[in-house]
Chain A
């Protein structure tokens, strides 16, 4: 026998709020509006798919260590898998961004969806940058020595030292992926809560007489 849950209980209040914001049929819908049947709406899920490959390949690289890909053919393959999945991730994300920008996807109280997506995009740029810094080759040396002057000029270098390999590795494999992962989840939950943004209404003056007759 369970005791009645008091309204003052924080878990009960949290559950009630979560259910009001995201009832099960909205959290996991089995139908979408007809306008979602377009290829431009596919790029969000393609971005998440590529992100999962990035995480798995990066996880394998983390287990074997950042120098593995220099000495083993399998390491080189996994490193290449990591690189090309990132290329696809960034490409899909930018096409997703173009599509959402031109349909003004922040309409209809979707500002939080837009803002969380922007944070994911900016976080991804930072993660890609720190990834270049931890290649442990001449390319990473060149990029870090060029970047330090720019970052030092705006006072960031004291806290974010691009010449510190250990610090950049931690940013790359822990802190920034955590930010992207967390905000991706919030972003998807916001899409579920507000729904996929509809296309713009057509101006009635643009509709021809033939269309009206049919």
Chain B
């Protein structure tokens, strides 16, 4: 594997999860979960203000 290749090999068939009529790829589910995590962190984490600067 060369140094510039992706840290995760994406060059293969996708893995899928099945739950009744719902079918979703692991990649899509991962992206959705990451987006929800970023959304929650954006609401909860304090925003740096001038008072925080040394």
User: A residues touching B (Cβ–Cβ < 8 Å)?
Assistant: 37-40, 42-43, 87, 91, 94-95, 98-99
- Most interface-central of A39, A87, A98 (chain B CB within 10 A): A39
- Binding site of B, secondary structure by majority: helix, strand, loop or mixed? helix
Asked if B42 and A39 make an inter-chain contact with CB atoms under 8 angstroms apart, the answer reads yes
Cα A94 to Cα B41 in complex, Å, equals: 15
Q: B43 contacts which chain A residues (CB < 8 A)?
A: 38-40, 99
User: B residues touching A (Cβ–Cβ < 8 Å)?
Assistant: 31, 34-35, 38-39, 41-43, 45, 47, 49
Asked if A39 and B41 make an inter-chain contact with CB atoms under 8 angstroms apart, the answer reads yes
Asked if B47 and A37 make an inter-chain contact with CB atoms under 8 angstroms apart, the answer reads yes
Asked if B39 and A95 make an inter-chain contact with CB atoms under 8 angstroms apart, the answer reads yes
Cα A37 to Cα B49 in complex, Å, equals: 7
Closest Cβ–Cβ distance, residue B27 to chain A (whole Å): 11
Closest Cβ–Cβ distance, residue A93 to chain B (whole Å): 11
In the complex formed, the residue of A with least CB distance to B41 is: A39
Cα A87 to Cα B39 in complex, Å, equals: 16
Quick one: which of B35, B42, B45, B49 contacts A94, CB cutoff 8 A?
A: B35
